Amino acid sequence: MIAGILGDLAASTWLRDKSVFYRQLFDGEATMSEYSLSTIAAAAALDNAESTGADCDNDGARERTRRIFSSYISLPQCRADVSDDARQWADDFAFRRTPASSGMLLMRLAVAGWYSDSADDGTSRASQQMMIDRSWDKEEGYARIFMPKMIALLRTGHTKDETYTALGEIFRGIRRNWDWRGGESTLCLLMRAWDCFYRAFDFGSAIHNAVRNCPENPRLMASLTAMIAGAMYGHGIYYIKEKYSTDGETRRPLYLPDETHKAYREEINVMASRSKWQNIFFAKNNALTNVERHLFKSVKSRYDGFTLTDEEARRIIKGFYTDWEARFGFYLDNGRIYIYRSHYLLGRFRLNHIAANRWTITDTQASDEMPDMLDFDKCFKCAFAITLIAPQRGFRYYRFSWGTPADSSNPYPENQPNKRRYWDYEHDFYINEYSRFGYWLGESAKALKDLSEHNRARLPIIIERETFAIIYYIHTRMKATGSTADINAIADDYLLPEN
């Protein structure tokens, strides 16, 4: 979701100073538009509906979103360039079919794709209500199907072509047979943004495509394209082409300007937490490597044909951030798993699901950046070893030191009974269920509906998704022993600051 705001800021910079745009995408002088504000308002409205269970008819849901959007425009610290069409929508919710209104709708629909339980569901009922506009024309109806599902598919690891196929024959027919390339209607704008994303190779190049594709409204196109690209590529780092770098630097971490973050701190924190909570793979633009074109060659590897369990495959896909101890990592990009070390792309392979609880590695290839002293097998072995300990970050009381349990016996005193109990249960989870972490992640997702409004709102902000899986395991074990402990009571303890 934040990716869409970054795209808007980038287009603002493109319009003002193209050299700054190519060098760093945006700077502190960049301003937001109605597309960023629509994104923030939709996320705030949906978070409120999801966390409180609020329900109302479509008109009431739309009105709630409009009120939030209107309140943002009136903030004294809001430094946004908002069109007259957007201001009229904020003032009276009168519907006017314009490129601006279509763009705002598409941004809200993209947000809905982050609030779906799965790519098949598309969106939750709350998000369906919140995103409908009043016109109900045919294009809007199709957009309500395409945009949320597109985001949901990409953020759950589907490739570009898999997503294109899953969107259905109508979507494919529009792309093949309709003159959408210069249009400004809802579906034309969506198809143009998809095309900018489809032809890109990372987050930054997608935005480059967008501003060039739509000179009549680069802010709209960059916002839409960035929202789509961010679901697949992430938006952690902007990789600078060498020809645009003035100081030899080829990467730049992307952070929202301080002024923007300050004005919408709570909403942005929730958006970031929601994205992190929903994440199932490590994205290309979050990896410390580069995105220049590479040559790959097939290599003989003892890991070609190597069989993995569901949990081992899940950990490779989920990946992790590299550091001084974990120098080799994995990321997923358009159906392939890439192996990298900071600033170097080393190799790639495919993961294939061949049977129940069985995956295999195929198509092992080395990159032209592979150093002479390394080979594919060494790189894979180092990165794979870290996946075995990466899930340990989900433990709260059963702590680890360099991947090894820190304590052989319960370290908490008798006067801290809850901590002692949770240490014991986490120890049991590590001994008996650590190899089935993915199972508990899946099962715990079903229990989210049992949380209180308060915990549903706080949970993604404070703890890891893996930690909630452990909470659910503890709840299940306690129920099996006849305990009446509620999952909310356990969550309350885990949400408290740990001393």
Q: What is the average pLDDT across 392-405?
A: 92
DSSP 449: G
- pLDDT for res 94: 57
Percentage of the chain surpassing pLDDT 90? Answer: 54
Q: 464 CB contacts (<8 Å, ≥6 apart)?
A: 393, 394
- Give the tens place of pLDDT for each residue, 314-335: 999 999 988 887 899 999 999 9
| CA 301 remoteness from chain centre | 32
Q: 331 CB contacts (<8 Å, ≥6 apart)?
A: 281, 282, 283, 284, 286, 287, 289, 319, 337, 338, 340
Between 261 and 456, the higher pLDDT residue: 261
In one-letter notation, the amino acid at residue 475 is H
The fold adopted by the segment(s) 2-278 is: ADP-ribosylglycohydrolase fold (1.10.4080)
- pLDDT for res 343: 82
**Residue 182 burial by CB count (10 A; 0-12/13-18/19+): exposed, middle or buried?**
exposed
- Give the tens place of pLDDT for each residue, 71-130: 887 765 566 788 888 887 777 655 567 888 889 889 999 998 888 765 554 445 545 555
Q: What is the average pLDDT across 128-150?
A: 74
- Give the tens place of pLDDT for each residue, 279-307: 889 999 999 887 777 899 999 999 999 99
In one-letter notation, the amino acid at residue 44 is A
Q: What tokens does 399 get?
A: 């702590």
19, 229, 242, 243, 250 from 246: Cα distances, Å: 10, 26, 8, 8, 9
Percentage of the chain surpassing pLDDT 70? Answer: 91
Q: What is the dihedral of CA 463, 468, 474, 475, to 10 degrees?
A: 120
132, 369, 384, 496 from 346: Cα distances, Å: 46, 6, 14, 42
Reported residue count of the chain is 499
- pLDDT for res 229: 98
For residue 100, which phi and psi values (nearest 5 degrees)? -65, -45
3-class secondary structure, 469:
helix
Q: What is the average pLDDT across 144-167?
A: 94
Q: What tokens does 418 get?
A: 């809850």
Domain boundaries, the chain: 2-278, 287-389, 395-495
Spell out the SS3 assignment of 111-142.
HHHHCCCCCCCCCCHHHHHHHCCCCCCHHHHH
Q: What tokens does 111 get?
A: 């947000």
Indicate the range of 142-151, 349-358, 378-387, 440-449 predicted with least confidence: 440-449
Residue 160 contacts residue 171 (beta carbons within 8 Å): no
Residue 112 contacts residue 155 (beta carbons within 8 Å): no
Q: What tokens does 222 get?
A: 């960059």
Q: What is the average pLDDT across 139-145?
A: 85
* Model-wide pTM > 0.85: yes
Residue 199 pLDDT > 90 = yes
